[in-house]
Amino acid sequence: MHLKLVCHPPLNEKEEEEEEEEGAKRNTSKRTEIHSNMDYVLRTVMFALVICGVFSADEVKVKSVMEGDSVTLNPDITQIQRINQIKWMFQKKGSNAAENIRNVEILQGRLEKNDLTGSLTINNMRTKHSGLYTLEIDHDNGTNNASFNVTVNEVPSVIEAHKAEIKILTVKKGEPLFLETDVTEFHGDELIVWRFGDEGKLLAKEDKETKSSPYYNADERYKGRLQLNDQTGFLTLDKMKDTDAGYYTVRISSNKQTTYKKFAVNFTGFIISGSVVSPSAGAIIALLLVIAVVAGLGVLYYRRKISELQEHVVGTLKFTEGESVYLHTGLTKLLKEDLILWKLEPKNALIAKINGTEDQRKQTPYYPESEAFKGRLHLNDKTGDLTITNTKSSSSGVYELQINSSNKVSYKKFNILVWPVNTLNYTVGDSATLQTGVTELKNDARILWKFSDTYIFIAELSGATNHHKLYDGPDGRFRDRLQINQRTGDLTIGNISRAHSDIYTLEITSGKNITCRRFMVVVHDKTISGEVGDSITLAPETEMQVGDLIMWMFGPEDRLIAKGEMNAQGFCTQDDAVGNITLDQTGSLIITNSTTEHSGVYKLLVISIRETKHKRFRVAIHERKENVVVEMESMPLKN
């Protein structure tokens, strides 16, 4: 190895300083370049960390919601710069393919996207919306994903009580319970859920999107007693029992909103003091006490100075004109120191009183003079119960019971509504029209027609949409017979029969006003009258078809008196006809040379492959009146 030694002359002081400055500049430039490279690397690493922190490649966030709820998937993309496009994909559970949510039919109408944050909200969810939701983000530095595994569970067992409006209802045992929603019409995306009790027992559920039949609790306790109204979401629970008292809650969710309503249901004649109650009834008692305290706060202080105050407000009790109203104190026996006062609001006018002393109980209870109740009030001298007989619509009002005992004063209120009744008489086969009395419905009006005291829905009409619905009723007795006037809400029953005799209830709701009317429809048999010796013809008034069998019966025993059958050759009578009775080719029954013994009820059965038709006739044969000729002897007039 050869080394070449190069010698430089020594630098003077000035040259040495210049060399040091030049070296310093080179070092500074080098450090700047290193720092620049490190800064780029650091920014790249930090960006990668941010991306990984927000969207971990392996992380899938899990969301769990209930049917009817809304869920928001929030990936928070605000830290990502220079985003070109964001896209949400949906992969249904059990499927291997994902598709753009814009193309997923079951999600249409319920999505809300926020392009600033990238969040996605799905409203009014169902179990079919369970699956994997993935956000794909395209930006200048690549592509990132955010995934959410969403599970939609069945409806919740407990509906949020604090969101529910509470309404107190009181019913009689054995009678139906009607729970009404505030819905005027459905839009096809609603989920209706009715629950009972503190444990949230599911009673009924209907999903309007699926257009399937409502679900009802299959428990033997509710078998055949639940009915969910398809048009309004109203729930009817028939034949109320002791175990049915408690809280009922409804939750109606749609793509636009979720509403709640809660009912505290108890039975008529309930007294707060001295009773052993179930936990659910105890909850109702507590609620009623709170309401009573708040409502009467102004007088509570004074009353508590002299007695222990207990008050119970009973819900509305509905009656028909002419019925008797029984208002119970809840006492089994009046004590010597008890004083019973019955008053009528709003003036708190005393209408009856009785006390528990022996002398007083032997006397006639006191009834102040009042034309409104003259002769129609009766007090039970053992219990203090009040009976109002032959009620009128003017008997409607709030009745207050005050029980003064030795150590407390108890109050109880009854809201009595007496509906007027229009009695309408028809003959079998007629068309009956029940009029609302309205010339034209308002846009916010809703008409409900109900049949019988069990309040079975038979017709509905919305003034806003003119949409109406007709029901077949029990045993299909209204099938193809009902018509409702779109302008007035009048209900017409065609070809009426005795099976349609009953009470009909009309309910008109407009805004916060509710108008009720009741109709008593009485359908009589068609009566055919004649005199002894006349010929009477009873016609089926139906076209006979091949294969039809006609049977005529008479009297309370339904004795067969004539029979015939339509075949390809014509109408053939059989030999069951009795004397003076024949059948013609139309199946009509002919009574010749009639007598009073032919008077009575005749029943016709037309039996075909499709159905069996019934018809009744009442025949009245009277003795023939003799023509009386009176001859008068002509007498001359005297002057």
In contact, 354 and 379? CB cutoff 8 Å: yes
Q: What is the pLDDT of residue 156?
A: 53
In a domain, 627, yes or no: no
Q: What is the pLDDT of residue 214?
A: 83
- Percent of the chain at pLDDT above 70? 74
Q: Do 134 and 80 share a domain, yes or no?
A: yes
In contact, 465 and 183? CB cutoff 8 Å: no
| Least-confidence region, from 254-268, 400-414, 453-467 | 254-268
pLDDT of 426 higher than 70: yes
| Least-confidence region, from 42-46, 170-174, 628-632 | 42-46
Q: Which two tokens stand for residue 482?
A: 């009902």
Q: Do 430 and 409 share a domain, yes or no?
A: no
> What residues form DSSP beta bridges with 34?
none
Q: What is the pLDDT of residue 232?
A: 78
d(CA 514, CA 6): 118
If one counts the domains in the chain, the total is: 5
Q: Which two tokens stand for residue 532?
A: 């002894």
d(CA 416, CA 210): 42
In contact, 457 and 450? CB cutoff 8 Å: yes
pLDDT band at 280 (very low <50, low <70, confident <90, very high): very low
Q: Do 251 and 183 share a domain, yes or no?
A: yes
In a domain, 54, yes or no: no
**Last residue in a domain, options 365, 380, 413:** 413
**Last residue in a domain, options 501, 524, 547:** 524
Angle at CA of residue 58, ends 55 and 64, nearest 5°: 80
In a domain, 52, yes or no: no
The CATH number linked to 366 is 2.60.40.10
Q: Do 294 and 362 share a domain, yes or no?
A: yes
In a domain, 49, yes or no: no
pLDDT of 165 higher than 80: no
d(CA 510, CA 185): 14
Q: What are phi and psi of 79, to 5 degrees?
A: -85, -5
In contact, 250 and 187? CB cutoff 8 Å: no
Strand ranges across the sheet with 502-510:
421-427, 513-524, 502-510, 445-451, 456-462, 468-470
pLDDT band at 433 (very low <50, low <70, confident <90, very high): very high
pLDDT digits (tens, 9 = 90+) for 105-163: 888 888 888 877 788 888 877 778 888 889 888 888 888 888 888 888 776 544 454 45
Q: Do 402 and 285 share a domain, yes or no?
A: yes
In a domain, 39, yes or no: no
Q: What is the pLDDT of residue 444?
A: 85
Q: Which two tokens stand for residue 521?
A: 């429809």
pTM of the predicted protein model: 0.38
d(CA 133, CA 91): 6
d(CA 399, CA 168): 17
Q: Do 308 and 342 share a domain, yes or no?
A: yes
Q: Do 389 and 299 share a domain, yes or no?
A: yes
**Of residues 76, 66, 232, the one with CA closest to residue 158:** 66
Q: What is the pLDDT of residue 432?
A: 93
287-295 contacts: CB < 8 A, separation 24 or more?
Answer: 287/166, 287/168, 288/168, 288/264, 288/312, 288/313, 291/168, 292/411
Q: Which domain holds residue 465?
A: 421-524
In a domain, 497, yes or no: yes
Rg of the Cα atoms in the chain: 42
Q: Do 371 and 293 share a domain, yes or no?
A: yes
In a domain, 7, yes or no: no
d(CA 56, CA 148): 12
In a domain, 531, yes or no: yes
**Last residue in a domain, options 267, 299, 332:** 267
How much is the average pLDDT of 322-340?
86
Q: Which two tokens stand for residue 272?
A: 């707060």
Angle between helices 297-306 and 279-295 (to 10 degrees): 100
In contact, 249 and 260? CB cutoff 8 Å: yes
Q: Do 357 and 299 share a domain, yes or no?
A: yes
pLDDT digits (tens, 9 = 90+) for 468-504: 999 988 888 999 999 999 999 999 999 898 889 988 9
Q: What is the pLDDT of residue 461?
A: 92
Mean pLDDT across the chain: 75
Q: Do 604 and 555 share a domain, yes or no?
A: yes
Q: Do 587 and 478 share a domain, yes or no?
A: no
Helical ranges in 437-538 per DSSP H:
none
Q: Do 511 and 558 share a domain, yes or no?
A: no
d(CA 7, CA 196): 107
